[in-house]
Amino acid sequence: MFKFLKKVQQTDSKSEPEAVHTKLDKNAQHIKQLFSYGLNKDFTFRELTAKYSQEKIEIYYYSSIVDANKVYDAIVRPLLESEGKQIRDVIVAESVKEITDFEQATEHINSGKAIIFEDGNNTAYSIDVAKFEYRGIGKAENESTIRGPQEAFTESLNVNVSLIRKRMHDKQLVTEGKQVGARSKSEVNIVYVKDLVNEEILKSVRERLDNIEADNVRNLELLEQFIEERPYSLVPTVLFTERPGNATSYLEDGHIIILMNNSAGCLIVPVTFWSFFHSPEDRYLRFLFGNFSRLVRMLAFYLTTMISATYIAITNFHSAMLPPDLLLAITASRERVPFPLIFEILIMEIAFELIREAGIRIPNPLGPTIGIVGALILGQAAVQANIISPIIVIITAVSGLTSFAVTDVSINYSVRITRFIFIFSAGFLGIFSLMGAFLAWFMYVASIKSFGVPFFAPLSPSYRSPHDTLFRKAIRNEIWRPGQIKPKDIRKKANSK
Amino acid sequence: MKDHKTLKTRELFAMMTIFVGMKLADTTPSLLSSKASNAFWMIPIISFIVIIPSFLLLIFLLKKYKDKNLIQLLEAILGTYLGKALGFTIFLSAFLSLSLDSRNYVEQIKLLYFPESPTTILYFVFIGVAFIGAKKGLEVIGYSSWIGLPLIKFSMLLMAFLIFDRIILLRIFPIFGDGLDVVLTQGIKKASIFSELFLFTIAYTAFKDTNTFRKGSYLGSFVVIFEITFFFLLYTLVFDYNSVGKVAFPFHDITQYINFGDYFTNVETFFMVFWLLAAYMRFIIFLYLIAWIFAAVFNIKEFEPLILPFAFFTIIIGMIPDNTLLNDLFYRDRLLNYMTPLFISFPIILWIVAFFKGDLKKT
């Protein structure tokens, strides 16, 4: 009856792994059983007699994830043809690892290696012949810029590391490997510059990766949710970017990058509000142009969260503030509309959110439909049917349009949820409750920390840093690295005094 | 990564200027001007001169007794019981002032913008926001104050700039208003308008180092006195001898005179936005400091859970006065008068006791 109270039996994985035998038969039998040979179609083995020792040899691998030519050139042919004293001298592959137990063997086969068992030898050998298929390097599509490199990360870990190394020739650049997941072990790479990174943050990243309790963590998007501090918070605390150039600029400042297979992007920690607000293009553009773009983005930030709420507050509660002409115009346009103002705004905002969600999910060939339906329903028909007043269309259009200027996907959601909070609070007691909600929201965001770094740093609390917040300095005047992440070397200019 | 004590001079400066400087935009000017007419702008100067020695003395003592906050200092000098008793008195007067002040603010909001909404609802919203803010802790309050400060001060300066064409300098006369004696007595009696500076000393050890606290408090208090005097003078020059005593909310009244050009003529709500921001910040700080003082008196380590009951009691006590006139002109007036001797004298008493105990000779 109380079965659920009983402890779930631990699987064998915790017990001592079985060691590799001296006899080939036993090894073969065991590994075939482990991988359900026969049932498992792509689990293959090749049997041969090595020329150098005249012993029987068996090679095991997944045919679907190895390079068949490489298996032949680097393993099979040398074994059949070459002379030598030991197996290491014979095999011509770039790396040969010795393996003593079956747990390692399983792991290696799963990650695309071929395992060699030799009769009379209680060591197996693992040769890297992996060839996972992945997409080629494409253009960054979600973080578009006009200037700057267009390459984007792709779903292969090795390619992504190479994209970073291509941009940063630094012997201190370390890619540290870690494995997450209990059942399917996935490789995670922590990339950092060894003599810049803050050890405490690095330690905390390692700890959080070690503490992940999951059978399988497939990609970075999931990993982000495993390592963030506050899963229920309104704002994100880990930055995801698909641009290797962007990632490298963070590396140079002493941040930590996390890479994984199967994700066309990387995670950056620790981050602040400003990391989400900035776009890589701000730096690729000249000082004045980049800052102008930031100013526009800040305005967009303000408008997208506040314009609907402000409109409600002013027209509902503080209409005295509006100049008479404008007030009359608004009143006239609302004359035949039956709904209260807040209801009107909500209808339109929700309609906009629906179009947006549908627009993302809709299959490409049907894409244009969204535009037609959206424009017709939202713009024309709703006004003509007197469901909403024309001015609301303008307000919602502005609030919707400006939300696209908030580029980061995560912060975009935060902003859109915030907008609804503000709309409701403005409908309650006008500016009074709107300001209250704003301050509560603001202080909530200010209390968020990403790996110990306050969210509005370096604006407040202030640190010695380039003060790259709302505006940035001219690049040649940036002397410091961001002090809020406490890099080991805070000075950016090694040559000047 | 744990980064302890990130608060610095600028955060304290921001908190002080918002917390105490807000007095220039509430009913304090009308309270004073109803007594001293157009000379009321001198009252803060006199009050400041009267109270600043005590404040500096307290800072001096805190410096001597390294790493102690207000209550710990009281206990160190006066002994546990006497120290706690004095601490509790400070807490009580500050708490009463919080309640009456908050009622006062709510009444302002109600009268100016929501005449038909029930006071209770407005009060709950107001203190509710203050509670949420205070719950976030001193660091976040400090950060937010610093980020909000430029906005608040900018709106104030903009107001001062826009009203400039309505100023007539000669309205400063008669220079002593209803008489020098009135100005002086009121100046001394109302010295407690700066008593809030003292409350910050509870956070003496919470800053990066105590040096930053001292710098911030000097800077903060001098900027506060400057801006309060400046704006009081501005009210005098705008409203003139007789009417300045009858204006209930000088700040809000001035915003009604202001135009942005010919098209935007009623921009008071624009200034209201920043005023509200500052008002919320003020009570967030107030609530937090009071909960802290209470907890320090009663040796409660985790004091943040106390903020909720205190927020509630603030509303309960604040609702006691029947109307805003009684609240402002009677209760608040009296309370300010009673608080003055307390805040002027206690640092002096502390200093005398410390002096005779011989604690001050230690380096």
Check whether the bond before B174 is cis (ω within 30° of 0).
yes
Query: Which of B136, B140, B276 has the CB atom closest to A432's CB atom?
Result: B276
pTM: predicted TM-score of the whole model, two decimal places: 0.91
- The residue whose two tokens read 């003593």 is A100
pLDDT at residue B280 greater than cutoff 60: yes
| B9-347 fold | Amino acid/polyamine transporter I (1.20.1740)
Give the residue-averaged pLDDT of A353-375: 83
Using the Cβ of B147 and the Cβ atoms of chain A, whether some distance falls under 8 Å is answered with yes
DSSP-derived letter for residue A258 is E
What is the per-residue pLDDT for A419? 95
Number of C-beta neighbours around residue B209 at 10 A: 11
Number of C-beta neighbours around residue A413 at 10 A: 15
Give the residue-averaged pLDDT of A162-183: 92
Residues of B in contact with A321 (CB under 8 A): 266-270
Mutate to test the interface with A, among B143, B270, B281 (most CBs of A within 10 A): B143
pLDDT tens, residue by residue, A1-26: 455 544 444 444 456 778 888 888 88
pLDDT at residue A395 greater than cutoff 80: yes
Report the C-alpha gap between B12 and A165 in whole angstroms: 45
Report the C-alpha gap between A426 and B284 in whole angstroms: 21
Residues of B in contact with A320 (CB under 8 A): 266, 269
pLDDT tens, residue by residue, B320-362: 888 877 777 788 888 888 999 999 999 999 999 998 888 777 6
Question: Which of A309-313, A407-411, B240-244 has the largest mean confidence?
Answer: A309-313
DSSP-derived letter for residue A74 is I
What is the per-residue pLDDT for B267? 85
Average pLDDT, chain A: 88
Using the Cβ of B265 and the Cβ atoms of chain A, whether some distance falls under 8 Å is answered with yes
Nearest residue of A to residue B148 by CA position? A439
Q: Kindly give, in sequence order, each residue whose CB lies less than 8 Å from that of residue A164, ignoring residues fewer than 6 positions away.
A: A173, A191, A244, A247, A248, A251, A257
Report the C-alpha gap between B316 and B15 in whole angstroms: 26
Q: Please report, for chain B, the start and end positions of each structural domain, with discontinuous segments joined by +.
A: 9-347
Tokens for A442, please give them. 């603001």
Please, where are the H alpha helices in chain B?
A: 9-21, 28-36, 43-64, 70-78, 80-113, 119-135, 138-162, 180-189, 196-199, 210-239, 241-244, 250-257, 268-297, 307-318, 324-325, 333-357
Q: Which residues pair with A173 in a beta bridge?
A: A193
CA A161 to chain CA centroid, Å, is: 15
- Give the closest-approach CA distance of A476 to chain B in angstroms: 27
- Give the closest-approach CA distance of A471 to chain B in angstroms: 15
**Residues of A near B (CB-CB distance < 8 A)?**
198, 200-201, 204, 270, 314, 317-318, 320-323, 428-433, 435-440, 442-444, 446-447, 451-454, 456, 459-462, 485-486
DSSP-derived letter for residue B165 is G
- Give the closest-approach CA distance of A342 to chain B in angstroms: 18
Whether A461 and B143 lie within 8 Å, measured CB to CB: yes
Tell me which of A1-15, A203-217, A481-495 is least confident. A1-15
DSSP-derived letter for residue A61 is E
Whether B143 and A460 lie within 8 Å, measured CB to CB: yes
- Give the closest-approach CA distance of A448 to chain B in angstroms: 9
pLDDT at residue A436 greater than cutoff 50: yes
Report the C-alpha gap between A248 and A169 in whole angstroms: 11
Residue A450 vs residues A52, A272, A446, B2: alpha-carbon distances, Å: 58, 7, 11, 11
Encode A312-373 in three state secondary structure.
Answer: HHHHHHCHHHCCHHHHHHHHHHHCCCCCCHHHHHHHHHHHHHHHHHHHHHCCHHHHHHHHHH
Report the C-alpha gap between A20 and A122 in whole angstroms: 5
Q: Is residue B309 exposed (0-12), middle (13-18) or buried (19+ Cβ within 10 Å)?
A: exposed
Q: Kindly give, in sequence order, each residue whose CB lies less than 8 Å from that of residue B112, ignoring residues fewer than 6 positions away.
A: B249, B252, B272
Report the C-alpha gap between A340 and A392 in whole angstroms: 12
Whether A461 and B6 lie within 8 Å, measured CB to CB: yes
- Give the closest-approach CA distance of A359 to chain B in angstroms: 37
Mutate to test the interface with A, among B127, B140, B208 (most CBs of A within 10 A): B140
Question: Do residues B21 and B158 touch, judged by C-beta distance below 8 A?
Answer: no
Question: Which helix H or strand E contains A259, and what residues bound it?
Answer: strand A256-260
Query: Which of A204, A442, A447 has the CB atom closest to B1's CB atom?
Result: A204
pLDDT at residue A483 greater than cutoff 50: yes
What is the per-residue pLDDT for A496? 56
Nearest residue of A to residue B131 by CA position? A440
Give the residue-averaged pLDDT of A387-398: 90
